[in-house]
Amino acid sequence: MQDGQRAARPKVTIVGAGMVGGALTQFLALRDYADIVLVDIVEGLPQGKALDLMQAGPILGFDTRITGTNGYTGTTDSDVVVITSGIARKPGMSRDDLLRTNMGIVRSVTALVVEHSPAAVVIVVSNPLDAMCHVAYDAAHLPRERVIGMAGVLDAARFRTFIAMELSVSVEDVSALVLGGHGDTMVPLSRFSTVNGIPLPELLPADRIAALESRTAKGGAEVISLLKTGSAYTAPGASVLQMVDAVILDKQRVIPCSVLLQGEYGISGVFVGVPIKLGAGGVQEIIQLDLAEQERAALHQSANAVQGLVDAMARLASEPQV
């Protein structure tokens, strides 16, 4: 290294400079361990957000190099790629319309980033999340260990928050686990959720636990209903940050993520949220819990819902474009 040159840092590419991508960029810049490339199709948007955040560095004390771009050359040799691209469902838009549009977006951006960064770990955030993991996996041609969906971290964070609010305790003492697809069929596991080691069923009656589980499953919709326009972005951005931390810093975190199951939990060929050990190189282990019959049935029901979306995408892909 020549005098005055900075040693190369890990590189993280964030595709999509919308609210989630912007929040993640801000959080990651504050970590100050990686350089960031922010990509978006809208001219000026990623460049403007990158410059704005760079100008916060002297005040907040980070030296992260943030580059905004409308192309993919600058993403070359990224260690982690986060895909947040896609559109939200609009009034009058059918599920098929949303699937068709986001399929095309996720497929194209995944192929482009992997072309420039074939060794990267790909984290998918685009919705419908578990279905978009399938699209990214098919486009990336990477081992399943390196294509991961962000869902369980966010769902568990919401569950932890609601538990802490209900019990008037610090959220730092609350641990929670949520499995399944990222949607109404997710499976909050209260039996595995604790407050400083105390199982949740020891602290709350069954009806209150059921209410918290229901609120968790509808957590995203609750935020949308309050905002009126747009959807959650701060907590999703923080959730992705935890995953990026785990990969770049090889923290070997045990967290729930959407991964392609190949027989684990009796499920094959579907991306669904389960606890994994996440570190350098992506998924280092899929942790199989001894689920009760009702919990296992709920997880399979959630996997079937994801499979329904995958089947719908296959149908849409086979239909002629008009």
Amino acid at 89: R
Note the Cα 303 to chain centre separation in Å.
17
Q: What is the pLDDT along the chain (322 residues), one digit of tens a residue?
A: 555 677 789 999 999 999 999 999 999 999 999 999 999 999 999 999 999 999 999 999 999 999 999 999 999 999 999 999 998 766 677 778 889 999 999 999 999 999 999 999 999 999 999 999 999 999 999 999 999 999 999 999 999 999 999 999 999 999 999 999 998 899 999 999 999 999 999 999 999 999 999 999 999 999 989 998 888 999 999 999 999 999 999 999 999 999 999 999 999 999 999 999 999 999 999 999 999 999 999 999 999 999 999 999 999 988 876 5
Q: Would you say 133 and 147 are in contact if contact means Cβ atoms under 8 Å apart?
A: yes
Catalytic residue, chosen from 116, 134, 141, 182, is 182
pTM over 0.85: yes
What is d(CA 158, CA 41) in angstroms, rounded to the nearest whole number?
31
Structural tokens at position 189: 């596991």
What is d(CA 112, CA 104) in angstroms, rounded to the nearest whole number?
12
In the chain, the domains with their CATH numbers are 11-149 (3.40.50.720), 152-313 (3.90.110.10)
Q: How many CA atoms lie within 13 A of 236 on its CB side?
A: 25
Question: Residue 182 catalytic?
Answer: yes
Q: Would you say 259 and 180 are in contact if contact means Cβ atoms under 8 Å apart?
A: no
